[in-house]
Amino acid sequence: MLVAAVPMSTAAAAGTLDWKACKPGAVEQCVTLTVPLDWSKPSGPTTKVFVAKVPAKDQAHKLGALFFNPGGPGGAGASIFAAGLADAFLPQFRDRYDLVSFDPRGTGSSSQLDCGPVLRPGVPVFPKSKAQYDAMVASSRAIGEQCLKQHGDLMRNLDTRTVAHDMDAIRAALGESKFNYLGISYGSYLGTIYAQQFPKRVGRMVLDGILDHKQGATRLTIEEAKAMEDGFNRFSAWCDTDTSCALHGQNVGKVYAATVRKADKTPLTGPNGPVTGDAIRMALPSLLPLTSMVSDNWADLATALAKAAKGDGTDFANLSYLGDPETAYAAVSCMDLPGELHGYADARARLALAKAVAPRVGAAVEGWAITAACSGWPIPPSNPWQATPVHGTAPILITSTLHDPSTPVVNARSLARQIDNSRLLTADVYGHTAYLNSDCARDRITTYLLEGKLPTGSC
């Protein structure tokens, strides 16, 4: 059910935000906006949303504000901007747009949700028996119930529809009539929900690295497993040909399999305790997808694997979804992307299907991480899997690489069919999101956001 739009009087009057320099002498400006905790109860309790802005260099000719969401769920975009990193992501827009981002409720410097890791070390992630499955479910339920005791009201108001209302409150408080937006990865879904709820307010919008809310939990895992297996094979081929790879000259697949088997039997040394085979597996969703504009993931993966083969699991421990303390990631996912497990037999079948389509990677993907984390979550999903048809907006640009291991291109093609008057741009490269991995796609996205011209063809 859609929540009705709430007048801005419940948050901040247009143009009244009291911006302050994020750091002494910094060009970045920060503010905390008060919004309703529950948008259906505008006069009820409130929560805080931290917002950062980098003013356009050419204020006289600026196009308005360009909102940016880095993904997640729970990516703290305002904290990224406040740290001075807007130029690293969006340098080509600095003249013509005020760049704006925010820390979604429950993250960063907004109202905090901090209950520790949901996927806890020592708890099964890939259950091989009913007892292990029950332990996974019990752990998920225990963390969720602990979080409810600490942050009950906030926990119940974290879903994407709610956060889309927060974005519209920021837009209105800035005095902007249109919402211009670049959302990558989970940010693509957040933008889709915004467009569905506020179609007439959409300006120039780019959705990149698509999370398709129509697909359901099983397809999320299986499609990602297939794409991640392709990514592992590409990583192995890169190591074969590039002498900078820490595993150059070795059989990468065999090294990985042997290292995981060894860690399954005798956990490796880590910074805060033993590093299991599951911890290594659950680092693949962080390290296999390339984000070339930001970091060299494959070099990091090769180095981590070379060290782990010698007994040092430190790098994998620091990058694994297992033990990751980001509670908000799981809490939002459980509201919007529930695992839909129906007992151990269902979990076993899903894991077997992932292994069949991805013999090396199996279910060591983000989709399964969400499923495991949400397996016993005590709060029913407020926004379960469903199509997200969008009508009545200005043209929306949907972008994807053809070889995205995190959000496969099939998602982008599906979403393009759900959004009226949209345009799909694909880039024939490997990596997560077109903007971060394709110069061609980035140029065409830039042209669209600066000139309003939708691209034709593909990259």
Mean pLDDT by 10 residues, the chain (459 residues): 36 70 95 96 95 96 97 92 94 97 94 88 94 97 94 93 97 96 97 98 98 96 97 97 95 96 94 92 94 86 96 92 85 94 97 97 96 96 95 97 97 98 96 96 97 91
Here the tokens at position 216 are 């359901």
Kindly report the pTM of this predicted structure.
Answer: 0.94
Closest CA to 385 of 223, 214, 224: 214
Helix (H) or strand (E) holding 35: strand 29-36
Q: Give φ, ψ of 244 to 5 degrees.
A: -75, -15
> What pLDDT sits at residue 200?
97
Dihedral angle sign, alpha carbons of residues 449, 454, 458, 459? negative
> What pLDDT sits at residue 257?
96
> What pLDDT sits at residue 12?
52
What residues contact residue 342 under an 8 Å CB cut-off, 6+ apart?
A: none
Inter-residue contact 173 to 14 (CB < 8 Å) = yes
How far, in Å, CA of 454 to CA of 313, rounded? 46
Cα distances (Å, whole numbers) of residue 105 to 160, 171, 302: 10, 16, 35
Closest CA to 144 of 367, 386, 372, 347: 372
How far, in Å, CA of 51 to CA of 446, rounded? 23
Inter-residue contact 193 to 72 (CB < 8 Å) = no
How far, in Å, CA of 46 to CA of 39, rounded? 9
Here the tokens at position 90 are 């969006």
Structural domains of the chain sorted by starting position, each given as residue range(s) with its CATH number in brackets: 8-112+161-208+389-451 (3.40.50.1820), 130-153+216-373 (no CATH)
Could you tell me where the beta strands, DSSP code E, fall in 148-219?
179-184, 202-208
How far, in Å, CA of 299 to CA of 311, rounded? 19
How far, in Å, CA of 440 to CA of 443, rounded? 5
> What pLDDT sits at residue 117?
87
Sheet with 396-403: list strands edge to edge.
Answer: 20-21, 29-36, 46-54, 98-103, 65-69, 179-184, 202-208, 396-403, 422-430
Closest CA to 385 of 338, 341, 441: 338
